Amino acid sequence: MGNSRREFLVKAFLGTAGLVAKKSFANNDLPKPKIEKCDCIVIGAGMSGLIAARDLTFPEYSKNGFKTILLEASSRIGGRILTMEDSRLNGPIEMGAEYLHRKPGSVALWKEIELYRPEMEKVRRMIKGYMYYDGWENNLRRHIMIAKEWKLSDILTFAKKIDAYSGPNISAKEWIDQQNYTNLGRNLVDLYFTGHIPGHLDEISVKGFSSDRISEQEMEWNEYGYVNGYSNFLDQIVQGVNQHKGREIDIRYGAFVKYIKYNMDGVEVSTADGKIYQAGAVILTASVGMLKSGEITFDPPLPSFKLDALHCMGMGDEAKVALKFKKRFWPDNAVILNRIDNHREMARTYFIPFASDEKKNNVLTVLFAGAEADKIKEMSDLEVIKALCRDFDKMFPKEAQEAGGSTYNLLETTGTDEHVYLRWQWSNDPFSKGSDSFLKAGMEKSVKVTQARHELASPLMTPGLFWAGEATAVGTYTQPCSTHGAHFSGSRAAIEVTQFLNNKKRTRF
């Protein structure tokens, strides 16, 4: 009986969040948790964490070379980049970040592409993207009437009006309500606000949208995709292909951080499995969803301005469903399909991952953002698939009729008559709790919405604790809600830590 109780106490101790127990146990015979020391701890192996850890680890990047440990809660790298390799679907399918939104040379991530040389493909979304709206399937006269209803001046100026807005912190819905747009115009501007930012129209701050400079991404003519998968590119970074080959980043998987103690003298990080890490500094890349969940304890507690900055931010949801069909029924030159009509049941954006390969061009990846992702969260896979096919039937009535009345009949199935598909919902991911951050309307306290990301990114009042991740991406040549923004933030944080450790005249562990 005594041995069983002792075993129970040992297991209970090792199962804590890693906090050092202060109670004394009989005989003092419980094992003490092992403490591992290094120069810097990076938390989260998404784009920002990988870049920060690489830049700190290898002298080729930081000119120093620090002993750095990268703690990742899950069993994989990538964070909100998730490439699923599925031969049934013709190749790698992106269930998270899909494209690099900025043209070559415009953001720092392109320098990594030059270094590691992943195969890239230009996606001409403005030229080969199709827009479906009420009446699109009718004759030319109807198209002309619709274009006339949605004034040319509105088409050319609405983005500039949004970026120039300087009034109260109102929502995108309130802003649209103030405009004299037709139904088509409202739907198009709705897509502009919520197609990339995964928030609800009545949540997204117009001032925040403008300060995030989302238009710079939205107005790009082309997207750029990773032919062999986004995750494959991250593998190249970890393995140092063409760079620090043979010397990989030190990544510890299954390390769910629960406690961070920080001060000028150093930091201590504890994980859910009871392990403790000590270092001169820590870089935290956790998502806004994770930060607001309260699952990480900070000692001392975060300053109020940091909490007020987080209060200005929301963590939106996105979901993706990839479907394989027996044959293509969309235009053969299309790369992206968008819907802004009033008759859709499901999503507004459809990616075509293998558009340039005639043999593979029978797969669609459907993006559900914000309210769309919320709508399908409790729906079964079959319910979602059937609803999507009803939408396809409205978009392609002729092709649906030829298929026996519905595009549902064109779905590829396995030998057991199961559909060939993938589905992923980011709000169900326990380590991200959503897809991307956005700035919220009407939530300002001591921090203005336009300064929220700057305050979250600042390490001035959290000595030893540094901040990275897409939500902290601030600067002239980057945007949040993007992988190039996450990349920029990781590089910036590595520079900050390098300066901090050097100024401390650190002692190597």
For 42, other C-beta atoms within 10 Å of its C-beta total 36
Q: How far is CA 171 from CA 16, 188, 206, 346, in A?
A: 42, 16, 6, 23
pLDDT tens string 49-93? 999 999 999 988 777 789 999 999 999 999 999 999 989 999 999
- Picking from 475, 488, 458, the residue whose alpha carbon sits closest to that of residue 309 is 458
Residue 27 CB-density burial (10 A; 0-12 exposed, 13-18 middle, 19+ buried): exposed
Measured between its terminal Cα atoms, the distance across the chain in Å is 43
pTM, whole model, 2 decimals?
A: 0.90
Region 312-317: mean pLDDT is: 97
**Side-chain half-sphere CA neighbours of 217 within 13 A:** 25
pLDDT tens string 459-490? 999 999 999 999 999 987 789 999 999 999 99
CB 256 within 8 A of CB 429: no
Predicted confidence at residue 165, as pLDDT, reads 94
Q: What's the CA angle centered on 397, arms 396 and 402, to 5 degrees?
A: 100
Distance CA(436)–CA(438), nearest Å, equals 7
pLDDT tens string 386-415? 999 999 999 999 999 999 999 999 999 987
**Side-chain half-sphere CA neighbours of 222 within 13 A:** 10
For 161, other C-beta atoms within 10 Å of its C-beta total 14
Q: Is 218 helix (H, G, I), strand (E, B) or coil?
A: helix
Q: Is 341 helix (H, G, I), strand (E, B) or coil?
A: coil
Residue 426 has pLDDT above 80, yes or no: yes
pLDDT tens string 10-55? 333 333 333 333 333 344 555 667 899 999 999 999 999 999 999 9
Residue 7 has pLDDT above 70, yes or no: no
Which pLDDT band, with edges at 50, 70 and 90, does 151 fall under?
low
Show the domains of the chain with their CATH numbers.
34-84+106-121+222-302+462-509 (3.50.50.60), 85-105+122-221+316-428 (3.90.660.50)
Q: Which one-letter amino acid corresponds to residue 494? A: A
Q: What is the mean pLDDT of the chain?
A: 89
